[in-house]
């Protein structure tokens, strides 16, 4: 029998599904990707077809293995990472979802969340979960499904249904319905999980009217979750790692020491600051979350979440049609000296941290007859840097020390102009790793640790390699002027004069 030394990572994201094969040194060997259809049934509503996610996952995995010129017998383990908070409710007998998945960006439960805040529940919820009450998280989405899908609540209470984020749904399908489980990082994003006790919380279940019978078991991130059905890939493969996408990226970036910070630029932007083994509640509307849990011991992070980063560039392509691909945004940004006073606030589904304003909407300010598509494209990229600074300012206000450097990853950081703008706006060196798809890499490392492909966390840290360092070079006065303009633009997007 062939010796299994490779790891297959499934990276099921908001706009696409990837599968990447990694070798024993953590180097990507081959991969495949499928773009995911976005469904917008109403203003502020976003959905995905779970069957599309499933079929894309299986075909991408098969393609990645084939392109690596391997078979399933070469694969030691599978790691799963996923878009967090996206909510799926399915039938335990058939495995079929009762409704399209409600995506993390979806705002349909915003009014319900406002009612909970008005009723005074937010302090207790934040203390237990580390989260602010917002429609972003899974609990209110699940409440909506149980209340609006015919017969769903009765069936849920009878134990006929299963709930999970995308990781749980894929695990269920991959194992032929034998395993209903999740990991501590995904659980910590549901608003039903107590991050201090590391367990589902009965009081939160009562608040959101969620039957315990539909919940998955919660395990460490590096754990023997189960094995795939042999029919899927030609041989059974152990599934031994799982983490929400931002926590997987934190692991892939080897941010293992308190004070280390990474920021991932995909559909949204998510910055996580390692704060060690004690949770700390943010006083500036950031989130406290489980960064990873190994051997039953959690490590925590403070997180800032921005809803639109790469999604803004996708809008330039698909909505405004001023670019044909993401790379053109960099070309346009470089073609002008500045944005000529144009600011773009990409609040397409509201604003995330630190504002948490679901009513804010996308806004372009400062347009004149001289404004061009280049100015708008540059303003879109600048908005990513401005929003990142919003997060860093909030982290500093919470008592966090200024980061010595920021590790960045995700598809957007292939853009050199954006990386330099981040360094300039943050006045902080920005490090880009050699493997920018660190979300998938983190999932591979977690799976490989369990399977014995990667020997230790220390070995993961030693394997991290920098591709390029971007040093800040913008004059302080320019930095301050641009950021002040951004803050005024955000107030306009929020309807504040």
Cα four-point dihedral sign 143, 147, 152, 156 = positive
Residue 136, annotated as binding a ligand: yes
Residue 84, annotated as binding a ligand: yes
Residue 310, annotated as binding a ligand: yes
Residue 126, annotated as binding a ligand: no
Strand partners, 431: 407, 469
Strand partners, 300: 276, 290
DSSP 107-137: -TTHHHHHHHHHTT-HHHHHHHHS----TTS
Residue 296, annotated as binding a ligand: no
Count CA atoms closer than 13 A to 71's CA, side-chain side.
9
Residue 267, annotated as binding a ligand: yes
Q: Which of 27, 442, 463 is nearest to 241 (CA)?
A: 442
Residue 16, annotated as binding a ligand: yes
The b/e string for 225-246 (b: 16+ C-beta within 10 A; e otherwise) is bbbbeeebbebebbbbbbbbbb
Give the tokens for residue 167.
């990781």
Residue 25, annotated as binding a ligand: no
Residue 14, annotated as binding a ligand: yes
Residue 314, annotated as binding a ligand: yes
Residue 15, annotated as binding a ligand: yes
What is the C-alpha separation between 277 and 298, in angstroms, rounded? 6
Hey, how many other C-beta atoms are within 10 angstroms of the C-beta on 121?
A: 17
Give the tokens for residue 175.
């194992």
Residue 234, annotated as binding a ligand: no
What is the C-alpha separation between 91 and 341, in angstroms, rounded? 53
Yes or no: say if 439 and 241 are a contact pair by the CB < 8 Å rule.
Answer: no
Question: What is residue 269's three-state secondary structure?
Answer: strand
User: Where is the binding site, in residues?
Assistant: 14-16, 18, 84-85, 136, 245-246, 267, 310, 314, 411, 415
User: Where is the binding site for sn-glycerol 3-phosphate, in residues?
Assistant: 14, 84-85, 136, 245
User: Where is the binding site for ATP, in residues?
Assistant: 14-16, 267, 310, 314, 411
User: Where is the binding site for glycerol, in residues?
Assistant: 84-85, 136, 245-246
User: Where is the binding site for ADP, in residues?
Assistant: 14, 18, 267, 310, 411, 415
């Amino acid at each position: 029998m062939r010796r299994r030394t490779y790891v297959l990572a499934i990276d099921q994201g908001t706009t696409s599904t990837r599968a990447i094969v990694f070798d024993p040194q953590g180097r990507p060997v081959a991969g495949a990707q499928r773009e995911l259809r976005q469904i917008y049934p109403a203003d502020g509503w976003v959905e995905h077809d779970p069957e599309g996610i499933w079929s894309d996952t299986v075909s991408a995995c098969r393609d990645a293995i084939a392109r690596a010129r391997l078979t399933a017998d070469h694969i030691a383990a599978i790691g799963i990472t996923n878009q967090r908070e996206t909510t799926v409710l399915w039938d335990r007998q058939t495995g079929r979802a009762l409704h399209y998945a409600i995506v993390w960006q979806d705002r349909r439960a915003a009014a319900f969340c406002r009612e909970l805040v008005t009723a005074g529940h937010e302090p207790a919820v934040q203390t237990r979960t580390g989260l602010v009450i917002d429609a972003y998280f899974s609990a209110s989405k699940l409440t909506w499904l149980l209340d609006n899908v015919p017969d769903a609540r009765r069936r849920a209470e009878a134990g006929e249904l299963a709930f999970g984020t995308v990781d749980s749904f894929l695990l269920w399908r991959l194992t032929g319905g034998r395993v209903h489980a999740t990991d501590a990082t995904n659980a910590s994003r549901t608003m039903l999980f107590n991050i201090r006790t590391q367990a589902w919380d009965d009081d939160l279940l009562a608040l959101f009217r969620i039957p315990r019978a539909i919940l998955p078991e919660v395990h460490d991130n590096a754990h023997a979750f189960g094995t795939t059905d042999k029919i899927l890939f030609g041989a059974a493969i152990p599934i031994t790692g799982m983490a929400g996408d931002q926590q997987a990226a934190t692991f892939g970036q080897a941010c293992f020491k308190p004070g280390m910070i990474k920021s991932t630029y995909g559909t949204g932007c998510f910055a996580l600051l390692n704060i060690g083994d004690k949770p700390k509640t943010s006083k500036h509307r950031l989130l406290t979350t489980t960064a990873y849990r190994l051997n039953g011991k959690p490590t925590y992070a403070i997180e800032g979440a921005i809803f639109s980063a790469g999604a803004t560039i996708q809008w330039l392509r698909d909505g405004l049609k001023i670019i044909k691909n993401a790379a053109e945004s960099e070309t346009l940004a470089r073609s002008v000296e500045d944005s000529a006073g144009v600011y773009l606030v990409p609040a397409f589904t509201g604003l995330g941290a630190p504002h948490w304003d679901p009513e804010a909407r996308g806004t372009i300010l400062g347009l004149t007859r001289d404004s061009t598509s280049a100015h708008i494209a540059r303003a879109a990229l600048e908005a990513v840097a401005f929003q990142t600074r919003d997060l860093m300012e909030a982290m500093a206000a919470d008592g966090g020390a200024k980061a010595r450097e920021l590790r960045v990853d995700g598809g957007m950081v292939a853009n050199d102009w954006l990386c330099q703008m981040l360094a300039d706006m943050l006045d902080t060196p920005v490090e880009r790793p050699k493997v920018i798809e660190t979300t998938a890499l983190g999932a591979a490392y977690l799976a490989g640790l369990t399977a014995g492909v990667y020997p230790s966390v220390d070995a993961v840290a030693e394997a991290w390699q920098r591709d390029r360092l971007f040093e800040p070079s913008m004059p302080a006065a320019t930095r301050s002027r641009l950021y002040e303009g951004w803050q005024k633009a955000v107030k306009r997007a929020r309807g504040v004069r």
